[in-house]
């Protein structure tokens, strides 16, 4: 089993490490900056003995090496800088996507594509159009990351183990995300029954601001530990055919009254990619926000083609 990671920056390199050390698959780490990919590949390979695994890790700049990949994860692109929004990244990262996706479809036509590059929802829509893959085989990662951040903030606020929290965030991977307080739980109890509506709103707002907070704190670069962990969990669900229900950016065709657009919704993922879209009974405000976000993302993506 092989997983290829396009982009050997902080997210890509850390993701390659996570996949190999979890013994999920052999890894191809690809970057146009050949030395970076090769160097990280060699370094990760040297860690195999002490990390206790036998997975092969290849650093390369040649797309022929991604052939026969089960999953291709796209992390390539510019990271946000302080004061920069995800939309600011769009033009340059869309150009990168327009180069990368045709090469993936040529060299790994049977793969599932997992998009991590921001702005994630727009680029997932673009990747689907460029690849002409089945909508089941093009997935954006954002919702898992946002839900992990939401769960962590809930756990910190309530001083409980994060493993006791079930969190769900849908919608765009941006400030317009929708943390679902009515579908999130702590030790099996609904969050909305544990804390006040005001606190729920504060936690939701903090979740939406978390990425920008990390960018501002770092000063240079953006988050990569949590994004790589989120991507790795999705790779695991696909490779091991776990049928896991997670929020992910996927193509909707009528679900949630959304037509012909990729947006973050709960889905069941496994070896075939998106195996089912789960339709939750959203309140009118959340549903309207979701529909409006999907329309905005769809329009932005269409302007790139």
DSSP 8-state class, residue 78: P
Last residue within a domain, chosen from 84, 113, 142: 142
**Model confidence at 132: pLDDT above 70:** yes
- Alpha carbons 18 and 269: distance in angstroms, whole number: 19
The candidate with the shortest Cα–Cα distance to 118, out of 152, 67, 158, 80, is: 80
**Model confidence at 305: pLDDT above 90:** no
**Model confidence at 85: pLDDT above 70:** no
Backbone angles phi, psi at 267, to 5 degrees: -140, 160
Q: Is 53 a catalytic residue?
A: no
Residue 109: predicted pLDDT:
98
Q: Determine how many CB atoms are found less than 10 A away from the CB of residue 35.
A: 11
- Alpha carbons 97 and 291: distance in angstroms, whole number: 25
The pLDDT tens digits of the residues spanning 289-302 come to: 999 999 999 999 98
- pLDDT tier for residue 34 given thresholds of 50, 70 and 90: confident
**Structure-token pair, residue 242:** 């776990």
* CATH, residue 103: 3.40.50.720
Kindly state whether residues 120 and 209 are assigned to the same domain: no
Kindly state whether residues 17 and 129 are assigned to the same domain: yes
Give the pLDDT mean for 114-140.
96
**Helical spans, DSSP H, in the chain:** 10-21, 34-46, 48-51, 90-107, 120-131, 142-158, 197-218, 225-239, 284-302
- pLDDT tier for residue 253 given thresholds of 50, 70 and 90: very high
Q: Which residue has the higher pLDDT, 82 or 67?
A: 67
Kindly state whether residues 110 and 153 are assigned to the same domain: no
- pLDDT tier for residue 78 given thresholds of 50, 70 and 90: confident
**Model confidence at 80: pLDDT above 90:** no
Please return the burial class of 52, using the count of CB atoms within 10 Å of its CB with bins 0-12, 13-18 and 19+. exposed
The pLDDT tens digits of the residues spanning 203-238 come to: 999 999 999 999 999 988 899 999 999 999 999 999
**Model confidence at 119: pLDDT above 70:** yes
CA dihedral 116, 121, 127, 130 (to 10 degrees): -160
The pLDDT tens digits of the residues spanning 149-161 come to: 999 999 999 999 9
What's the total number of domains in the chain? 2
Residue 304: predicted pLDDT:
86
Which of 157, 173, 205, 253 is flagged as catalytic?
173
Q: Is residue 266 within 8 Å of residue 282, measured between CB atoms?
A: no
Kindly state whether residues 14 and 115 are assigned to the same domain: yes
Q: What is the pTM of this model?
A: 0.95
The pLDDT tens digits of the residues spanning 235-250 come to: 999 999 999 999 999 9
Residue 303: predicted pLDDT:
87
Kindly state whether residues 90 and 175 are assigned to the same domain: no
Domain holding 18, by residue range, is 2-142
Give the pLDDT mean for 43-54.
98
**Structure-token pair, residue 16:** 């390659």
Kindly state whether residues 14 and 52 are assigned to the same domain: yes
Q: Is residue 272 within 8 Å of residue 237, measured between CB atoms?
A: no
The pLDDT tens digits of the residues spanning 61-74 come to: 999 999 999 999 99
Average pLDDT, the chain: 95
**Model confidence at 87: pLDDT above 90:** no
Kindly state whether residues 87 and 183 are assigned to the same domain: no
Q: Which long-range contacts (CB under 8 A, 24 or more apart) does 101-106 make?
A: 101/74, 101/126, 101/127, 101/130, 101/131, 102/130, 102/131, 103/63, 104/6, 104/63, 104/66, 104/72, 104/74, 104/131, 105/130, 105/131, 105/132, 105/133, 106/63
* CATH, residue 222: 3.90.110.10
Q: Determine how many CB atoms are found less than 10 A away from the CB of residue 198.
A: 8
Residue 221: predicted pLDDT:
84
Last residue within a domain, chosen from 112, 142, 172: 142
Residue 84: predicted pLDDT:
67
Kindly state whether residues 135 and 184 are assigned to the same domain: no
């Amino acid at each position: 089993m092989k997983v290829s990671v396009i982009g050997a920056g902080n997210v890509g390199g850390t993701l390659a490490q996570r996949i190999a050390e979890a013994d999920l698959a052999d890894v191809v780490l690809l970057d146009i900056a050949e030395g970076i990919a090769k160097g990280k590949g060699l370094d990760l390979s040297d860690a195999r003995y002490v990390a206790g695994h036998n997975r092969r890790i290849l650093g390369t700049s040649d797309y022929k090496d991604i052939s026969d990949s089960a999953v291709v994860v796209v992390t390539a692109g510019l990271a946000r800088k302080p004061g920069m929004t995800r939309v600011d990244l769009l033009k340059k990262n869309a150009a990168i996507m327009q180069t990368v996706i045709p090469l993936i479809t040529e060299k790994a036509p049977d793969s599932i594509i997992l998009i991590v590059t921001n702005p994630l929802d727009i680029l997932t829509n673009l990747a689907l159009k460029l690849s002409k893959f089945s909508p089941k085989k093009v997935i954006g990662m954002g919702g898992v990351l946002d839900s992990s951040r939401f769960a962590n903030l809930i756990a910190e606020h309530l001083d409980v183990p994060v493993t006791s929290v079930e969190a769900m965030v849908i919608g765009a991977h941006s400030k317009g995300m929708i943390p679902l307080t009515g579908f999130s739980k702590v030790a099996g109890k609904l969050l909305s029954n544990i804390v006040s509506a005001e606190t729920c709103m504060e936690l939701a707002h903090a979740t939406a601001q978390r990425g920008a907070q990390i960018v501002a704190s770092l000063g240079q670069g953006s988050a990569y530990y949590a994004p790589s962990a989120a991507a790795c969990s999705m790779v695991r669900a696909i490779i091991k055919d776990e049928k896991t229900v997670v929020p992910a950016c996927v193509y909707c065709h009528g679900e949630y009254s959304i037509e012909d657009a990729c947006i973050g919704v709960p889905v069941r993922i496994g070896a075939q990619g998106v195996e089912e879209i789960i339709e939750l009974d959203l309140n009118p405000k959340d549903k309207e926000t979701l529909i409006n976000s999907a329309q905005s993302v769809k329009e932005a993506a269409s302007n790139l083609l």
